[in-house]
Amino acid sequence: MNEGVAYFLGICFSGLTRGSIYALMALGYTLVYGILSLINFAHGEVYMIGAFVGLVFAGLGTILGLGPVANAALALGAAIVWAGAYGFILERVAYRPLRRAPRLAPLITAIGMSLFLREFVILAQTSDFVAFPPLFEALPSLPQGWGEFVLPSELLILCSTLAVLFGLYLLVQHSKMGLAMRSIAQDPEMARLLGIDVDKIISFTFVLGSALAAVGAVLISAQIGQINANIGFIVGIKAFTAAVLGGVGSPGGAALGGLVLGLTESLAAGYLSSDYEDGFAFLVLVLILLFRPAGLVGKNLPEKV
Amino acid sequence: MKLRWKSHLLLCATLGLGSTAFGVENLKIGVAGALSGDLAPYGTPPKNAVVLAAEALNKKGGLLGRQVELVLVDDACKPEMAVNGANKLVGEKVVAVIGHTCSGATKAALPIYQNAKIPLLSPSATSPELTLSGNFPYFFRTIPHDAAQAVLEAQFITQVLKAKTVVVIHDKGDYGKGLAELVDQELKKRSVQVLLFEGVTPGAVDYSALIRKVKRLSPEVVVFGGYHPEATKIVSQAKQKGITAKFISGDGVKDPSFLKIGREAVEGYYATSPADLSTVPLAKSVTADLEKKGESPGNFGLAAHAAFGALAAAIAAVQSTDPDQIKAQLHQAKVDSTLGTISFDPHGDVVGAGFSVYQVQGGVFVDLRFVPQ
């Protein structure tokens, strides 16, 4: 293969790997925003907690002598359940009591919860970096020639993300739960009148978003091999950017926004300079919002009267 | 009546127990640095070492007949927190400050100490401009600045690794970028080709794209200016992607966390860091005392102990807390410290303490005893 082409593909896979994590995280922001018009600033911390739970259970699996696949499944499963529980409790404790409060109030509690969770993990665990077990070591090697531009773990992250996205699409578009979610997004009062348990659906949305964040956290932590209590911060900002880029409130847009953002950063680092990686990411955001204020796939809705 | 007499006695006893006996005020010394956050492993051992030194001094009667009281300030290596901390210490009327940990935080806090004329002695801030700019006459440090480190790194790269092509990466911070720029200059002086000079954002999800770029350039050596969290992230991803170049960094990576997190990936990694002090008697006894308390001197603990020692000696010598007298005394005196016999040059940089090149071998840092030609 031409060396330049292999390099280009490699940079794209770097971007798609990172973009996958942004996409999984952005979905959490966008699902919650779609239903509650609330930006859940504590989402990055749920991601971080997912990574820590994955770490603890992967370590446990190693002690129990589990095989690599079983160990990865245990870490991922535990992270999903645990982060989901955090999402559920977060909504119960911090957002539900403020359902009828002015919109600024839940925003402030969101920031408060974000700080609280981060400090909690620092006190309960450590402020230092800790090594994350290499869950992907047992992956089979790729066919001859592929190694020039992609790692097995990158392919695994991308494929798992696409599978999760497809599952989410089925859930939102073709299940009763999804129908209820979409109806609340349109008009919560009407949904309530039609007999939908709005609080239950909102809880479910938080659990779902948190579980997606946990999947992203475990996948990328196993890839880079280290975590600490602050890892949720930058990912949170980037994923929020991705959600806005795609059109906040639209799950398809969040997924697309995440991948586009990841690719932009990667191409900027690969062909220009990694100094300006973040600059280019936000430049693309500004350009897209200039020409499509509602985001890539967002619809420009007239203000509700 | 009896009762009242008793209560008076009690009152006197309380006063006596508190170290402000006979109404003499404590002599306050500030200790500022990263006591929390990602870089706490660099700030906590210096604090512990200063606490140990102050306890020992107080047992011997303190300074100027007063007990030394330490005022601790945590800046998490963040400039804005360092400014707040500096203002707090000025408000507390400290005589001098040991700190801060990171160059960026030190740079931000220095003008405040400068205005209040408070001498500042850092055990770990290595950015050259802090002393060389000449703007801060009350600033001293017990660690050589990065230019000394950069020269050593460049000499090691050319004389031992014999590399012709190098990639320089940094973390955009005052310390990391400063060191990287100096190494870059020194390498170019020695006609080594620097293929790439780029910064990464600390805390970014991964550095995969940059690493593919480095792989394409296939340098013989990668220089990274920054701290251990990014270093382990970069080197482990580089090994995943099959980069065989040798890695070298400054003292920002020489930390146990680097070994613990990097595991096999950091095997063979080179780092310049202050020379091994296990032969200095005072260093031995201080290390033993710290270990008795379940602490360790870390990278900068001994330098912090030396900074406190130099300061205490200066105050005792001039028998005053006047900042100008302390400053003048620091500039002229030679002090026996945990770093050996040290003094300060006119810029405030330490004389008599140096850097060595270490390599990770079998999971520990080994001093290579590199002597430049």
pLDDT at A79 exceeding the cut of 90? yes
* Least trusted range by pLDDT, from A289-293, B188-192, B251-255, B369-373: B369-373
Instruction: Find the CB nearest B206 among A122, A224, A230.
Output: A224
Contact A97, A217 (CB under 8 A): no
A135-164 average pLDDT score = 88
* Residue A296 pLDDT greater than 90, yes or no: no
Q: Identify the pLDDT of residue B7.
A: 40
Please, which residues have CB within 8 angstroms of residue B106's CB and are 6 or more apart in sequence? B82, B99, B100, B120, B122, B125, B127, B130, B139
Using the beta-carbon criterion (under 8 Å), do A14 and B209 form an inter-chain contact?
Answer: yes
Residue B44 tokens read as 């906590």
What does the pLDDT look like over B257-299, one tens digit per residue?
899 999 889 999 999 988 877 778 899 999 999 999 999 888 8
Helix axes A43-64, A104-124, angle to 10 degrees: 30
- Amino acid (one-letter) located at B186: E
Domain B6-145+278-354 fold: Rossmann fold (3.40.50)
Same fold: B6-145+278-354 with B147-276+356-367: yes
* Residue A91, token pair as written in the block: 């909504």
Q: Are B174 and B229 in contact (CB under 8 A)?
A: no
Residues 6 or more apart from A166 whose CB is under 8 A from it?
none
- Cα angle B46, B49, B53; round to 5: 135
Contact A235 B210 (CB under 8 A): no
User: Please, what is the Cα angle at B126 between B124 and B128, to 5 degrees?
Assistant: 155
Beta bridge partners of B166: B194, B221
Spell out the residues 6+ positions from residue A66 whose beta carbon is closer than 8 angstroms to its own.
A74
The pLDDT, as a whole number, for residue A247 is 86
Helices (H), A225-250: 231-246
Q: Is the pLDDT of residue B174 over 90?
A: no
Judge contact between A72 and A58, C-beta under 8 A: yes
- B336, B82 in Cβ contact below 8 A? no
Decide if B36 and A131 are in contact by the 8 Å CB cutoff: no
Look at chain B and count its residues: 373
Per-residue pLDDT for A265 more than 90?
Answer: yes
B205 to A151: CB separation less than 8 angstroms, yes or no: no
H-type helices in chain A, by residue range?
3-36, 43-64, 68-90, 104-124, 152-174, 176-186, 188-193, 198-224, 231-246, 251-267, 277-291
Residue A89 scores a pLDDT above 50:
yes
Angle at B275 between CA B271 and CA B279, to 5 degrees: 140
Confidence band, pLDDT 50/70/90 cuts, at residue B4: very low
Tokens of A265: 């950063």
Using pLDDT thresholds of 50, 70 and 90, give the confidence band for residue B22.
Answer: low
CB contact under 8 A, B205 and A21: yes
CA quadruple A228, A234, A237, A238: dihedral positive or negative? Answer: negative
CATH says B147-276+356-367 is which class?
Answer: alpha beta
Cα(B247)–Cα(B183) distance, rounded to whole angstroms? 13
Give the model confidence (pLDDT) of B196-250 as tens digits.
Answer: 999 999 989 999 999 999 999 999 999 999 999 999 999 999 998 999 999 999 9
Domain boundaries, chain B: 6-145+278-354, 147-276+356-367
B16 has a pLDDT exceeding 50: no
Which of A122, A220, A275 is opposite residue B206, by nearest beta carbon?
A220
Contact B342, B329 (CB under 8 A): no
Query: ipTM of the predicted structure?
Result: 0.89
Contact in structure between A53 and A83 (CB atoms under 8 Å):
yes
Min mean pLDDT across A122-126, B76-80, B94-98, B105-109 is at: A122-126
> Which chain B residues contact residue A13 at CB under 8 A?
208
Q: What does the pLDDT read at residue A301? A: 56
Q: Please state, in angstroms and rounded to a whole number, the distance separating the CA atoms of residues B217 and B167.
A: 8
CA within 13 Å, CB half, B180:
25
Measured CB to CB, residues of chain A less than 8 Å from chain B are 3, 7, 10-11, 13-15, 17-18, 21-22, 122, 127-131, 147, 151, 153-154, 220, 223-226, 228, 230-231, 233-235, 238, 265-267, 269-270, 273-275, 277-278
Residue B369 is predicted with a pLDDT of 83
| Ordered domains of chain A (ranges, CATH) | 3-291 (1.10.3470)
Tell me the nearest-neighbour CA distance from A59 into chain B, angstroms. Answer: 14
Provide the residue type at A248 as one letter. V
